[in-house]
Structure 1
Amino acid sequence: VDGGGSCSGRVEILEQGSWGTICDDGWDLDDARVVCRQLGCGQALNALKFAQLGQGSGPIWLDDLNCGGKESHVWRCPSRGWGRHDCEHAEDAGVVCSGFVRLAGGEGPCSGRVEVHSGEDWTPVSDGNFTLPTAQVICAELGCGKAVSVLGHVPFRESDGRVWAEEFRCEGQEPELRVCPRVPCPGGTCHHSGAAQVVCSGEMQVRTNLPNTLFRFFKHKILLKSCILYQCMQKSGS
């Protein structure tokens, strides 16, 4: 709804053939962390209450959610149980997530070292086999225009020295980096001389052309009704 991205919005779950919302009673950043991790959307920046992203319709599936922040799925968190609540849709919960990828250590948000979020923290991406089409997807996803250049030989952070254990093989037309084909590095170790660094053409802009994204899981499904990240953060006062 009014979407500009798939990593921020009102949280809805598909259960028993019906989309429903989560009540904001007890809704906090730990709950939002589980949702953001489940969707592959990076870290939770804000847990939104009082239907700040608009009211949903249909059932309210969960209430008094009490996630510890480490659960794999939001429906595994303690709650009143499916469909049990004392709420109205004016209390629908939402989240603002950071997204899967960022450019760090540059002069601004549109240049720097490529890092992706593992669900726990940010990890640099190897410059081995890192291509301009992959950079193009990253720049477009971040609202930073087109990829101008791809640079290597950027030292990894001395604090841990870790590197993402996959290579991204984007064709350049994908809407987001996380949907690009990936190839695991042999033995879990990517050949590299440093972290990939990308320079994009423009300053960060709000994206308005991303389609709503439906995430499918084995038992249940979860949907973030999209909103423009900037608007979400403005409404939440962050």
Structure 2
Amino acid sequence: MFNSFSPESVRLVDGAGLCSGRVEVKSNQSWASVCEADFDRQDAEVVCGELGCGAPAALQGGLYGGGEGQTWDKEFQCKGKESLLLDCDTSDRKINTCLPGNAVGLTCSEPDNVSLVGGGSRCAGGVEWYYQGEWRTVGADDLDQEDVAAVVV
């Protein structure tokens, strides 16, 4: 019933959940932070979509930490409609514009077709799903563990 996302090439870390954090890309079996100077709104749209989140809401360097370790060495040139960030064109940096501590932070809006209602916070409550023009309450019997993980992250 729900889409189950299992991103393997991009992730958002040190945020409040799957839809916010510092952008990291998997490179040679390790994770690399992406520099703010190498990332724009179209790139953010692709990442948010790949992770199953809504549209980008905030894009700012250092928002979720400066990044540690390896840094992605290419600039993304997404058009905004690609399915995966690694499907986007890339180019080599002309000059090293990546200053320490400027890993890009991204906050995507929550998925548009799923919400939690009636709980004490935006991270708790009953699951509702927007389907065919109306919000429907989802019962426990309708969800398995992967569905819950996809919704509640």
The answer to whether TM tops 0.5 is: yes
Residue 59 of structure 1 aligns with which residue? 70
Query: Residues of 2 paired with 1:7 and 1:99: CA distance?
Result: 7
SS at match of 2:143: coil
| Residue 2 to residue 32, structure 1, CA distance change in 2 (3 Å) | closer
Query: Residues of 2 paired with 1:37 and 1:85: CA distance?
Result: 30
> What pairs up with 1:158-177 in 2 under 5 angstroms?
169-170=142-143, 174-177=148-151
Please state how far the C-alpha of 1:69 moved relative to its aligned partner.
0.4
Greater share of strand: 2
Q: 2:122 aligns with which of 117, 120, 143?
A: 143
Say whether 1:34 aligns with 2:71. no
1:89 maps to amino acid: P
> What pairs up with 1:185-196 in 2 under 5 angstroms?
none
| Residue 171 to residue 71, structure 1, CA distance change in 2 (3 Å) | closer
Please state how far the C-alpha of 1:171 moved relative to its aligned partner.
5.0
Give the RMSD, CA atoms, in angstroms: 3.5
Deviation track 1:70-127 (CA, whole Å, cap 9, x = no partner) reads 112112222224x9971233221121111224xxxxxxxxxxxxx35xxxxxxxxxxx
The percent of aligned pairs where both chains have the same amino acid is 30
Flag structure 1 segments of 5+ consecutive residues without an equivalent: 102-114, 117-134, 158-162, 179-209, 211-238
| Residue 76 to residue 170, structure 1, CA distance change in 2 (3 Å) | same
Q: 4+ residue runs of structure 1 moved beyond 3 angstroms?
A: 144-147
Flag structure 2 segments of 5+ consecutive residues without an equivalent: 1-12, 136-140
TM-score after normalising by structure 2: 0.65
Query: Residues of 2 paired with 1:77 and 1:45: CA distance?
Result: 21
Residue 9 of structure 1 aligns with which residue? 21
> What pairs up with 1:200-219 in 2 under 5 angstroms?
none
Q: How many residues align?
A: 129
